[in-house]
Amino acid sequence: MADPFVVAFDDVKAWFSKVFSSAPKETAAALSVLNTAAPLFEAVTAEVDPSLAVVADPIITVVQADLGTVSQMLSTGNITGIGSFLTAIKTNFSTLLTEAHITDAASVAKANVFLSVIQSIASDLGVTL
């Protein structure tokens, strides 16, 4: 009869092998998806009324920084804590839409696509938003 400790360690080893063999593929897919997010983000922020810059610009800066952090994390494969950055992007972007009074149907459609891209990245990485 097999030693139960050996069986348990073999199971753990198999689980880690599975996780780490698929992680690079998942991060590569997420990084590819992220590359479509930047132009979408820029398209939406271009619709912000310049008179609202004092409100919108700080939010835009935070979202850009978080997108950069997510990109860096995906590029290096170090995705620990990436969920908090994706959640912040989603929350701050939603705040931006509200604060900047973006209501034009085409802009709202671009915004929804941007948010679905962020959700897709989270899904690829198994992160719940």
Q: What is the pLDDT of residue 95?
A: 94
Looking at every residue in the chain, the average pLDDT score rounds to 82
Q: What is the pLDDT of residue 24?
A: 56
| Residue 20: pLDDT over 50 | no
Question: Percent of the chain beyond pLDDT 90?
Answer: 42
Please work out, in degrees rounded to the nearest 5, the angle formed at the alpha carbon of residue 68 by the alpha carbons of 65 and 69.
90
pTM listed for this prediction? 0.76
- Cα separation, 89 vs 73, whole angstroms: 14
Residue written as token pair 């030693």: 3
Q: How confident is the model at residue 2 (pLDDT cuts 50, 70, 90)?
A: low
48: region left, alpha or beta (phi > 0 left; psi from -120 to 50 alpha): beta
Please work out, in degrees rounded to the nearest 5, the angle formed at the alpha carbon of residue 18 by the alpha carbons of 14 and 21.
130
Tens of pLDDT along 56-71? 999 999 999 999 999 9
Q: How confident is the model at residue 40 (pLDDT cuts 50, 70, 90)?
A: confident
- Cα separation, 74 vs 82, whole angstroms: 9
| Residue 80: pLDDT over 50 | yes
Tokens representing 82? 């990436």
Tokens representing 18? 């599975």
Mean pLDDT (whole number) for 3-27: 52
| Residue 100: pLDDT over 70 | yes
Asked if 47 and 102 touch (Cβ cutoff 8 Å), the reply is yes
- Cα separation, 29 vs 22, whole angstroms: 11
Q: How confident is the model at residue 104 (pLDDT cuts 50, 70, 90)?
A: confident
- Cα separation, 47 vs 116, whole angstroms: 19
More confident position, 25 or 45: 45
49 alpha carbon, distance to own chain's centre: 26
